[in-house]
Amino acid sequence: MRRLAFAVVAFLLLGQGPPDPNEPFDRGRFGGFIDEDGDCQDTRAEVLIRQSEIPVTFRGQDECVVQRGRWTDPYSGQVVTAAAAMEIDVVVPLEHSHESGNWRLGNREKGEYLNDLTPGHLWAVHVSTFTAKNERPIKQYKPRTEFYCDYAASWFFAKMRWDLGSDPNEIEELRLMAVLNDPNGVEPCVSDLTPD
């Protein structure tokens, strides 16, 4: 998509982003999943519900905790029906986000980062995929090639949205993922995750 291409160029122009962290990464400061809209379904449940290909079923009558659904793990392609086998992955992992600029945020904003329900920020994946990625950044982990386009878009727009920096190698990785299907290796792919 041209907008993605434009955005990649803009990203290059943005440069390195904020300076290096002046404090160590502390996962605890990001908190955990919350129920921001007060409907008893926390961020994990909200992601499982919206990503399921069929209406989910719940554990208990209060419909707070998802039990079953049908998910195609976007990173691996594996089809999963038990919610217990799913984890919620933050596409730009917490520690990498910290190093890229989130170290500047207070605890409340860090919690907002972890609970950001913008499409593409969080993905429900099988627990084995979650373990395989192990919260590694894009230079060290990539999903199946069929998901390169949406993964690169997710990564890119999360960094834009949260004003996070990237190094040149990372930007080149993103570019290569985005042009994978162009025989000339020039035209970026189209992702539905591109903001309007």
- Catalog residues that contact Ca ion under the rule CB under 5 A: 35, 37, 39, 41
Nearer to Ca ion, 57 or 145 (CB): 57
The CA-based dihedral angle spanning residues 117, 122, 124, 129, taken in that order and rounded to the nearest 10 degrees? -170
Rounded CA separation 73/52 (Å): 10
Shortest spacing between CB 47 and Ca ion, in angstroms: 10
Shortest spacing between CB 60 and Ca ion, in angstroms: 16
Rounded CA separation 109/36 (Å): 13
Shortest spacing between CB 51 and Ca ion, in angstroms: 15
Nearer to Ca ion, 63 or 187 (CB): 63
Nearer to Ca ion, 23 or 37 (CB): 37
Nearer to Ca ion, 41 or 52 (CB): 41
Shortest spacing between CB 59 and Ca ion, in angstroms: 16
Assess contact for 8 and 171: CB atoms under 8 A.
yes
Nearer to Ca ion, 115 or 166 (CB): 115
Shortest spacing between CB 146 and Ca ion, in angstroms: 30
Q: Taken in order 44, 113, 11, 132, is the CA torsion positive or negative?
A: negative
The token duo for 69 is: 């659904």
